[in-house]
């Protein structure tokens, strides 16, 4: 089982969300990505198309002047999603999806058509929803959209079967899952 502990150098700023831990780091991803076997893709700055991973460890072989432009990864065994973006520095977000169930977070499936990912017809994400008091609704609790998390190219999702799938537009939540 892969460890979620990271030993990232050059960390400049960190923040935590309900189920994600993010950090800004310099141009070195070494130690920033938890060990695991990932599905997803890694798009290098000097490549026209991203490299698709299928059950592989995340390894970066930076060439002269190249860097990871974007990576979306899912480790199904550990129910962990990792997002990497390069915007003058790396922004790395690690989502521990098992935490969503513990914290009463609901989600819905989102499907998109990929751009330049050969051999893949769809890219799947989870959008999280949390119940929060809204001062604009006289303090009543409302469902607020949250993070959008990559879960792979297949409809197989990394959550336990009893995890509550919430479609806020068609089904009201039942109270047995409320926190």
Per-residue confidence at 178, pLDDT binned at 50, 70, 90?
very low
Per-residue confidence at 31, pLDDT binned at 50, 70, 90?
confident
Where do the H-state alpha helices sit in 10-124? 98-102
- For the stretch 73-118, pLDDT in tens is 999 888 899 999 998 888 899 998 887 777 777 788 888 988 888 8
pLDDT at 162: 45
**Can you give the residue ranges of every domain in the chain?**
11-96, 104-173
HSE (CB half, 13 Å, CA atoms) of 168? 16
**Cα dihedral across residues 64, 50, 60, 128: positive or negative:** positive
Backbone angles phi, psi at 149, to 5 degrees: -120, 130
Residue 171 confidence (pLDDT) above 50:
no
pLDDT at 165: 52
Mean pLDDT of 165-173: 47
CA nearest neighbour of 117 among 49, 56, 69, 70: 49
pLDDT at 55: 93
Mean pLDDT of 45-49: 90
Task: Considering only residues 63 and 17, tell me which one the structure prediction assigns the higher pLDDT.
Answer: 17
pLDDT at 32: 85
């Amino acid at each position: 089982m892969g460890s979620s502990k990271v030993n990232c150098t050059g960390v400049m700023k960190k923040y935590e969300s309900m189920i994600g831990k993010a950090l800004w780091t310099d141009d070195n991803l070494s130690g920033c990505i938890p060990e695991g076997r990932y599905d997803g893709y890694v798009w290098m700055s000097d490549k026209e198309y991203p490299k698709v991973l299928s059950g592989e460890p995340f390894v970066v072989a930076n060439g002269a002047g190249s860097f990871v432009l974007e990576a979306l990864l899912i480790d199904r065994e550990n129910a962990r999603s990792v997002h990497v973006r390069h915007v003058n520095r790396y922004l790395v977000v690690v989502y521990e999806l098992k935490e969503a169930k513990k914290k009463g977070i609901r989600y819905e499936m989102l499907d998109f058509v990929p751009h330049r990912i050969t051999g893949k017809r769809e890219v799947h994400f989870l959008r999280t929803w949390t119940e929060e008091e809204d001062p604009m609704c006289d303090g009543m609790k409302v469902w607020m959209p949250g993070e959008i998390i990559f879960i792979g190219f297949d409809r197989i999702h990394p959550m336990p079967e009893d995890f509550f799938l919430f479609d806020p537009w068609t089904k009201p939540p039942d109270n047995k899952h409320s926190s």
